[in-house]
Structure 1
Amino acid sequence: MTEGDWQGNWKARLYERVRERGYASLTAFAEARPTASLIALAEELSGDDLNAVQVFSGLVAEAEQSHQLSRLVRGQLVRELWEGLPDGWPAVLDDSNRFKVAKALGLWSGFTPETHLDRARQAGSALLATPPPPGWRPLGPDDELLRTLLPDEEA
């Protein structure tokens, strides 16, 4: 993140870059890359004048407008799991793996909007109490297990 990221109308810059890549929304752009980190999304959109925080801010705004916050929260968990657990869910939660899982879940919580924080904590606890199969890596926000843990909100 640089000071230049915040210069000028960064929101207009963000959406202009999304449209230049043929997408009608930032959400559509991000969902075409469901396992890419927020940093990777920002880098693809800007090179050096947008950042991950700005991308996530735009995604939250769109999710709020479309009543899709649960989907956004699931999608961010996918991104954090791909980043933090590149080999998928560990077969055994030993000390090393427990830290990797806790880090991924903690980073995810940090990006979870306040309205969904309790549900996210419950989902994280459920994953730890009843771990998914070894190697599990959800491919996107519509993963069956994730939809069970964090169902869509009523519109």
Structure 2
Amino acid sequence: MTAGHPWDGHWKARLYERVRERGYESLTAFAEAHPTASLVKLAAELGEGEIAGVQVFSGLVAEAERSKQLTRLVRGQLVRELAECLPSGWPRVLDDANRFKVAKALGLWTGFTPETHKERVRRVGDALLANPPPAGWRPLSPDDELLQTLLPDEEA
């Protein structure tokens, strides 16, 4: 492997070092400061070619589990996927092209969802397709009112 590869050395230590260098106390705080940035963009911000998006997500899941904020993390990941796949917000019409974009966002979201939340996420995806949000809806944080209604916190 070449020097600077994301999996070289102690990647978790490197990840948290980069987060602290940017003035954040946690990876979650860093990610929440960039709520619509994709995992790849977050990784690039922390070290282009030295941090991978999946490493960022792994760290976010670990922090969310410790703080009992996993549902919030799951909502936040939908915000990221929608921002990436639907930058202009929810489409007015679900024609073939827009249906693909929505399906891509929901599929990526499901793929990044921990097993504990997969069934809830599938139900939310079904609900969004059956009763689409207003055209242009673009959640900007996991605290979006519609997201909290669709996927309320369950952690105690």
Instruction: Note whether the superposition's TM-score is higher than 0.5.
Output: yes
- Is the aligned partner of 1:6 residue 2:7? yes
Could you report, residue by residue, the CA deviation over 1:5-58 in whole angstroms, capped at 9, with x for unpaired residues? 111000000000000011000000000000000000000001211100000000
Report the residue type matching 2:139 in the other structure: P
SS in 2 for 1:63: helix
Matches within 5 A, 1:110-125: 110-125=111-126
- For residues 122 and 79 of structure 2, what CA distance do their matches in structure 1 show? 15
Task: Tell me, yes or no, if the aligned pair for 2:75 and 2:142 is still in contact at 8 Å.
Answer: yes
- Equivalent residue number for residue 49 of structure 1: 50
- Equivalent residue number for residue 71 of structure 2: 70
Report the residue type matching 1:76 in the other structure: Q
- For residues 47 and 108 of structure 1, what CA distance do their matches in structure 2 show? 23
| CA-CA distance at 1:154 after TM superposition | 2.9
Structural RMSD (CA): 1.1
- For residues 16 and 133 of structure 2, what CA distance do their matches in structure 1 show? 37
| CA-CA distance at 1:136 after TM superposition | 0.5
Matches within 5 A, 1:53-132: 53-132=54-133
The number of aligned residues is: 154
Could you report, residue by residue, the CA deviation over 1:90-111 in whole angstroms, capped at 9, with x for unpaired residues? 0011111101100110000000
| CA-CA distance at 1:153 after TM superposition | 1.5
List alignment gaps of at least 5 residues for structure 2.
none
- For residues 148 and 51 of structure 2, what CA distance do their matches in structure 1 show? 31
| CA-CA distance at 1:66 after TM superposition | 0.4
- Is the aligned partner of 1:34 residue 2:32? no
Report the residue type matching 1:55 in the other structure: V
Report the residue type matching 1:124 in the other structure: G
TM-score by length of 2: 0.97
Report the residue type matching 1:69 in the other structure: L
Task: Tell me, yes or no, if the aligned pair for 2:43 and 2:56 is still in contact at 8 Å.
Answer: yes
SS in 2 for 1:4: coil
List alignment gaps of at least 5 residues for structure 1.
none
SS in 1 for 2:5: helix
Percent same amino acid at aligned positions?
Answer: 77
SS in 2 for 1:23: coil
- For residues 56 and 113 of structure 2, what CA distance do their matches in structure 1 show? 14
| CA-CA distance at 1:77 after TM superposition | 0.1
